[in-house]
């Protein structure tokens, strides 16, 4: 059993802390937010993630997981590893804001009581590992041995616990091979391939991975636009493409584009790093432009379906979070879509199984409902913004009978166009070719 300190109890930090505790280690989760730490001590999760509350509760009861606001307590003489897992939001020009990483590294340096392996878990620009090492050296009261290892996270919101326990790979980067090997030993129980490289390469693997996945999303959305123009069905196109092992099926679902805490800021940060070095990341800019275009496009489609004007119309939004199984509203398409619809004169309602509490202050002019059926009653149109399984199981006949107009814009292609036509909906998905066009032209 190793003793680990995890700095930051946000999304990555809390999953990392609970995960390593569940593997049998003693983990001290540290955060400067007294509110978050007190909440966790009382069993209150600062984020929504399926299975997280049970995982934390189990490891707190076993004594393997504790919470503190004290660096002195988190870095007592038994601690061998410290993970820095604090936020790195986008700065003014798209660069990653490293103020929280700097503060954490400084506090670690001032409070370390013995030799440490300092592990960057946050997504940080290439070169940050060297920068963190310099911060630690400058802030140590007296010289104490330490090493810096980059260990980027690859957690998907909504399935993060599964991803932690079943990683595709673990990437480690360091200039100290012994330190990298020690961190590799921590991950051995996960029985996944371990890639050991230098600091900057490990940091780049994270950015390149997220940028590639974002590119697949924007690519299939571009194909969806072309499918609509040519009369093809993007869902079948994606299925046919995906059987090629070089392409694969993942991230080929046409929709409203990506959002959340990772893809938007990571693609932007990578483009910023490239431009700082005099490079011209045209593909990355195209990926971001295509993604940004999805939101006004969705608004335009709804306006078209309602006869060219939404003034005085009521539109209900099925889903607010940027993806299912999370309450994360960061860069959620629903925010831009609702804002644009309201600016066009519409009344907007919203329902989400999980995220309404988080969404309410971000969408103060959207009326929130506690169930989808009461929200739909009297609506002129519904929009599917998030592909929650709950929405796939809705009684569409009941929805249609309660709506003022039976109009549905399916921004995630969760419904079958032929079935919606049989139910007498005016329905339109994205890139659905003949089916989508025929159904929308009722």
Specify which residues 145 forms β-bridges with: none
Q: Are strands 170-174 and 146-150 parallel, antiparallel or unpaired?
A: antiparallel
User: Cα(405)–Cα(66) distance, rounded to whole angstroms?
Assistant: 54
Write out the two tokens for 192. 């996944």
Write out the two tokens for 188. 């051995």
262 catalytically annotated:
yes
Do 149 and 180 meet the contact criterion of CB atoms below 8 Å apart? Answer: yes
User: Of the candidates 168, 175, 194, which has an alpha carbon nearest to the alpha carbon of residue 118?
Assistant: 175
User: Cα(89)–Cα(133) distance, rounded to whole angstroms?
Assistant: 21
φ/ψ (deg, to 5) at 173: -135, 135
How distant, in Å, are the alpha carbons of 38, 313, 330, 425 from that of 399? 43, 17, 29, 10
Do 298 and 122 meet the contact criterion of CB atoms below 8 Å apart? Answer: no
Write out the two tokens for 32. 């400067």
Strand arrangement, sheet containing 170-174 = 65-68, 26-30, 3-7, 81-84, 116-120, 146-150, 170-174, 194-197
Out of 5, 151, 227, 262, pick the active-site residue.
262
User: Cα(373)–Cα(318) distance, rounded to whole angstroms?
Assistant: 10
Distance, first Cα to last Cα, the chain: 65
User: Cα(442)–Cα(396) distance, rounded to whole angstroms?
Assistant: 18
Specify which residues 118 forms β-bridges with: 82, 148
Say which residues have a Cβ less than 8 Å from residue 7's Cβ, sequence separation at least 6.
13, 30, 31, 74, 82, 83, 84, 85, 86, 104, 107, 108
Catalytic residues, by residue number, are 262
């Amino acid at each position: 059993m190793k003793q680990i300190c995890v700095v930051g109890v946000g999304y990555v930090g809390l999953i990392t802390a609970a995960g390593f505790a569940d593997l049998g280690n003693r983990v001290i989760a540290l955060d400067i937010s007294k509110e978050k730490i007190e909440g966790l001590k009382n069993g209150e999760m600062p984020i929504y993630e399926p299975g997280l509350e049970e995982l934390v509760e189990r490891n707190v009861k076993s004594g393997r997981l504790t919470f503190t606001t004290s660096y002195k307590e988190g870095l007592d003489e038994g601690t061998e590893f410290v993970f820095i897992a604090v936020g790195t939001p986008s700065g003014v020009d798209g660069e990653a804001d490293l103020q929280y990483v700097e503060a954490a590294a400084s506090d670690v340096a001032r409070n370390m009581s013995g030799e440490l392996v300092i592990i960057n878990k946050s997504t940080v620009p290439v070169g940050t590992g060297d920068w963190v090492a310099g911060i630690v050296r400058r802030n140590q009261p007296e010289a104490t041995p330490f090493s810096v290892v980059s260990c980027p996270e690859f957690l998907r919101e909504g399935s993060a616990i599964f991803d932690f326990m079943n990683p595709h790979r673990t990437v480690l980067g360091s200039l100290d091979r012994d330190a990298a090997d020690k961190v590799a030993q921590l991950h051995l129980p996960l029985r996944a391939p371990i890639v050991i490289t230098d600091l900057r390469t490990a940091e780049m693997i994270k950015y390149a991975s997220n940028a590639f996945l974002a590119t697949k999303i924007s690519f299939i959305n571009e194909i969806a636009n072309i499918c609509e123009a040519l009369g093809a069905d993007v869902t079948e196109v994606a299925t046919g493409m995906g059987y090629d092992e070089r392409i694969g099926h993942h991230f080929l679902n046409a929709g409203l584009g990506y959002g959340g805490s990772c893809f938007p800021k990571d693609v932007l940060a990578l483009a910023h790093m490239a431009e700082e070095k005099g490079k011209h990341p045209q593909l990355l800019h195209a990926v971001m432009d295509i993604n940004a275009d999805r939101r006004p496009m969705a608004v335009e489609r709804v306006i078209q379906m309602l006869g060219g004007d939404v003034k005085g119309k009521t539109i209900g939004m099925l889903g607010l979070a940027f993806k299912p199984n999370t309450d994360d509203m960061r860069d959620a398409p629903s925010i831009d879509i609702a804002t644009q619809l309201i600016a066009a004169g519409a009344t907007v309602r919203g329902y989400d199984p999980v995220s309404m509490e988080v969404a309410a202050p971000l969408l103060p002019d959207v009326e929130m409902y506690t169930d989808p059926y009461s929200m739909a009653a009297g609506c002129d149109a519904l929009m599917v913004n998030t592909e929650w399984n709950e929405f796939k199981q809705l009684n569409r006949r009941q929805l249609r009978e309660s709506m003022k107009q039976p109009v549905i814009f399916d921004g995630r292609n969760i419904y079958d166009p032929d079935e919606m036509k049989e139910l007498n909906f005016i329905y339109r998905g994205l890139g659905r070719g003949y089916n989508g066009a025929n159904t929308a032209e009722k």
